[in-house]
């Protein structure tokens, strides 16, 4: 029941928000309350979850299309709890930000945001291939409108690029879903066996690689992240990209042992290339959003390295890093939005010297930046270290690439911090530009606080992602 409730609450909320003729602030406020209710519901779920068990929990199953073996089956594994947790927190923050800046046409806007949240949660708990596909695809509808209506000046090009890329992936996945499910005779992930068909595997893998995005499927990323409203970009890079992680964990890696074995080398090389290339781009780009966007791509490459090392360290690290990245990239995007609102631009050349007279902004941005660059002791450091350890099992060269990625992360994060806070006062920074307000702090600080908790206690996630079992056992035995 709890799994279904977590899906239904935001979607029902979306309908209510869309229908009730409230004022602008009341609509946004109601939507924010619903998002907070979703967080509360998640806390209840997590508190009742038995983290020592690696079984599917809170599962519900209803027949949907019996004759083809399709059912509505949802439930939680340990890692789904954490992915959903990141989702509800980040989307609450994003919706709060939309409330704070007062987006136009609030009924449509907030209905779409809540609907998006419901679709993402549904993707993370889906235990049926067709339900997974439907949820995965359903995310695109609100995103398309959110970027197309509320986006920046070049939003038309952005939506087109975004839709072309993601739909190309989704439709390949549809073909793969059809082929896999028809061959297996069921779409229930628990009952379906494994397949050794490389083409079906590629259908899934390419779809997830585009969603993440992984090098070389990242063509949609720069323009989409730049043109989307900043909180939508936060949701995109923070949680929508993590559906790819779930897809790899639950479908692509366990169900296709032979293709994974054959193609691991290629995928690891692409992941490593994405990590380095994304980091370099983040270091070279000229605006705030570009830095966060490309760093997001680099981090997804890193997480892929962890996933495809398919051992306990790598998998634990990948889940931890997914949660970390969701929280940190959402915080960073919202901070970028706050800076952009004050200065009217995100171009680094026009920014600078904002630390003077704005101590709160300086402190928060500094802390978030330090976590981004994975300073030892931070949660991201724990994640990257685990991934590095895991991927070392596949070859020392990969571990070197991860280490290089950590160094590059320091370069772009420090560049961002200094370009905003230090150097000379930028031309776009006016003296009247305020420090962070209480409302803004209330959105970012909880996420940073979550990250600090994870920094102190990363085992909270890593020890519980796969229950009592080892991650590699779960993926290579239970999920098959």
Which phi and psi angles does 69 have, rounded to 5°? 75, 35
- The alpha carbon torsion through 87, 88, 89, 94 (nearest 10 deg) reads 90
- The dihedral through the CA atoms of 420, 422, 423, 426 has a sign that is positive
Q: Does 358 sit near another protein (CB under 8 A)?
A: no
For another protein, give the closer residue by CB, 72 or 479.
Answer: 72
Binding residue (CB under 8 A) for another protein from 2, 88, 97, 137 = 137
- 58 is a contact residue toward another protein (CB under 8 A): no
Q: Which of 21, 66, 376, 424 binds another protein (CB under 8 A)?
A: 66
Q: Does 159 bind another protein (CB under 8 A)?
A: yes
Does 65 interact with another protein (rule: CB under 8 A)? yes
| Sole binder of another protein in the list 130, 192, 406, 448 (CB under 8 A) | 130
40 binds another protein (CB under 8 A): no
Instruction: Kindly identify the residues of this chain, within the stretch 88-107, that bind another protein according to CB under 8 A.
Output: 105
CA angle 396, 381, 356 (to 5 degrees): 135
CB of 104 to another protein, least distance (A): 11
**Whose Cβ is closer to another protein: residue 53's or residue 183's?**
183
By the rule CB under 8 A, 15 interacts with another protein? no
Candidate residues 12, 16, 33, 178; the one interacting with another protein per rule CB under 8 A: 178
Complex with another protein: residue 51 or 144, whichever CB lies closer: 144
CA 167 to chain centre: 18
Binding span for another protein by CB under 8 A among 131-139, 279-287, 307-315, 377-385? 131-139
| Residue 26 in contact with another protein, rule: CB under 8 A | no
Q: Is 196 in the site for another protein (CB under 8 A)?
A: no
| Minimum distance from residue 210 beta carbon to another protein (Å) | 13
CB-nearer residue toward another protein: 175 or 434: 175
Smallest separation, CB 442 to another protein (Å):
32
Torsion sign over Cα 66, 68, 69, 70: negative
The correct pick among 168, 263, 400, 460 for binding another protein (CB under 8 A) is 168
| Exposure on the CB side of residue 463, measured as CA atoms within 13 A | 7
Does the footprint of another protein cover residue 20 (CB under 8 A)? no
Does 175 participate in binding another protein (rule CB under 8 A)? yes
Q: Is residue 64 involved in binding another protein (CB under 8 A)?
A: yes
In terms of CB distance, is 176 or 371 closer to another protein? 176
Using rule CB under 8 A, residue 23 touches another protein: no
Closer of 51 and 64 to another protein (Cβ): 64
The reply on whether position 145 binds another protein by CB under 8 A is: yes
Distance (Å, whole) CA 239 – CA 299: 13
Give the integer Cα–Cα distance in Å for 187 and 272. 33
Shorter beta-carbon distance to another protein: residue 226 or 358: 226
Nearer CB in complex with another protein: 20/171: 171
Give the residue among 328, 373, 379 at the shortest CA–CA distance from 89: 328
If the CB atoms of residues 151 and 352 are measured against another protein, the closer one turns out to be 151
Question: d(Cα 297, Cα 278) in Å, to the nearest integer?
Answer: 6
Q: How far is the CB of 336 from another protein (least distance, A)?
A: 24
Tell me the window of 91-99, 144-152, 356-364, 434-442 that interacts with another protein (CB under 8 A): 144-152
Piece of the chain touching another protein by CB under 8 A; list 57-65, 313-321, 356-364, 438-446:
57-65
Q: Which residues bind another protein (CB under 8 A)?
A: 63-68, 70, 105, 130, 133-135, 137-138, 140-141, 144-145, 148-149, 155-156, 159, 163-164, 167-168, 171-172, 174-175, 178-179, 181-182
């Amino acid at each position: 029941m709890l799994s279904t409730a977590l899906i239904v609450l935001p979607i029902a909320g979306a309908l209510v928000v869309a229908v009730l003729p409230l004022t602008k602030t009341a609509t946004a406020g109601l939507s924010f309350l619903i998002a907070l209710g979703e967080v509360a519901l998640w806390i209840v779920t997590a508190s009742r979850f038995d983290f020592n068990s690696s079984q599917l929990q809170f599962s519900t199953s209803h027949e949907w299309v019996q004759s083809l073996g399709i059912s509505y089956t949802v439930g939680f594994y340990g890692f789904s709890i954490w992915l959903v947790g990141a989702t509800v927190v980040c989307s609450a923050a994003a919706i709060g930000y939309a409330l704070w800046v007062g987006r136009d046409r609030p009924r449509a806007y907030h209905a779409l945001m809540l609907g998006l949240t419901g679709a993402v949660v549904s993707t993370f708990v889906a235990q049926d291939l067709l339900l997974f596909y439907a949820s995965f695809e359903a995310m695109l509808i609100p995103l398309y409108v959110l970027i197309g209506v509320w986006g920046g000046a070049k939003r038309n090009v952005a939506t087109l690029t975004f839709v072309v890329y993601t739909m190309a992936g989704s439709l390949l996945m549809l073909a793969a879903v059809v082929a896999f499910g028809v061959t297996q005779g069921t779409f229930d992930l628990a009952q379906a066996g494994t397949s050794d068909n490389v083409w079906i595997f590629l259908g899934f893998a390419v779809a997830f690689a585009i969603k993440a995005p992984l090098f070389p499927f990242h063509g949609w990323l720069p323009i989409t992240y730049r043109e989307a409203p900043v909180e939508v970009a936060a949701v995109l890079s923070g949680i929508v990209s993590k559906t790819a992680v779930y897809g790899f964990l639950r479908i692509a890696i366990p169900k296709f042992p032979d293709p994974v074995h054959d193609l691991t080398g290629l995928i690891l090389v692409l992941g490593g290339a994405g990590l380095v290339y994304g980091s370099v781009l983040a270091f070279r780009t000229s605006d705030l959003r570009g830095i966060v966007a490309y760093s997001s791509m680099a981090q997804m490459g890193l997480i892929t390295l962890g996933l495809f090392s398919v051992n306990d360290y790598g998998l634990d690290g990948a889940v931890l890093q997914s949660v970390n990245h969701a929280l940190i990239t959402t915080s960073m995007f919202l901070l970028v939005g706050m800076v952009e609102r004050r200065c009217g631009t995100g171009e680094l050349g026009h920014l600078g010297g904002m630390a003077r007279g704005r101590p709160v902004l300086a402190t928060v941005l500094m802390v978030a930046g330090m976590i981004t660059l994975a300073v030892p002791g931070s949660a991201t450091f724990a994640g990257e270290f685990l991934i590095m350890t895991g991927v070392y099992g596949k070859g020392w060269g990969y571990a070197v690439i991860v280490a290089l990625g950590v160094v590059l992360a320091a370069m772009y994060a420090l560049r961002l911090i200094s370009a905003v806070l230090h150097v000379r006062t930028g031309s776009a920074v006016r003296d009247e530009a305020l420090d962070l307000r209480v409302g803004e702090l209330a959105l970012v600080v909880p996420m940073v606080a979550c990250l600090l908790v994870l920094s102190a206690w990363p085992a909270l996630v890593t020890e519980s992602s796969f229950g009592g079992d080892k991650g590699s056992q779960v993926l290579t035995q239970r999920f098959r």
